[in-house]
Amino acid sequence: MLDLNSDKSIYIQISDTIENEILKGNLKEDDRSPSTNEFAKIYKINPATAGKGLNILVEEEILYKKRGIGMFVAKGARDKILKKRQEAFFKETIPELIREAKMLEVKDSEIIKVIENYNGGEG
């Protein structure tokens, strides 16, 4: 679901949405991706904005185009997304977590305990 009030650009949200669907297994290799026009109609956005989000994924070889048919999930797309997001996680998320923990004087052992006991909210 796109958040039209978010600080994150709509076209980035579109590419993130497709990546998330691939990671969840809802879109598999060679499955057809929602089209530019489908995104534009559903979210009432400019087709060029939707196209920009899809083209990012084409450039990253996560989607590929079949002329006149649409865009499809490329072979190895899930692994590419995992690698990209893991790198961002370790480069951006973890350092921010550590900075915040230090500022709040949270001990390393407390963070480790929370991580080890975390069940993702799944019972």
pLDDT tens, position by position, 48-88:
999 999 999 999 999 999 998 999 999 999 999 999 999 99
Mean pLDDT of 109-117: 91
C-alpha span between 31 and 22 (Å, rounded): 10
How would CATH label the architecture of 10-76? Answer: Orthogonal Bundle (1.10)
Domain ranges of the chain: 10-76, 78-117
Measured in degrees and rounded to the nearest 5, phi and psi for residue 31 equal -75, 150
- C-alpha angle 27-56-92 in degrees, rounded to nearest 5: 90
Q: What is the pLDDT of residues 41-57, one digit of tens each?
A: 988 889 999 999 999 99
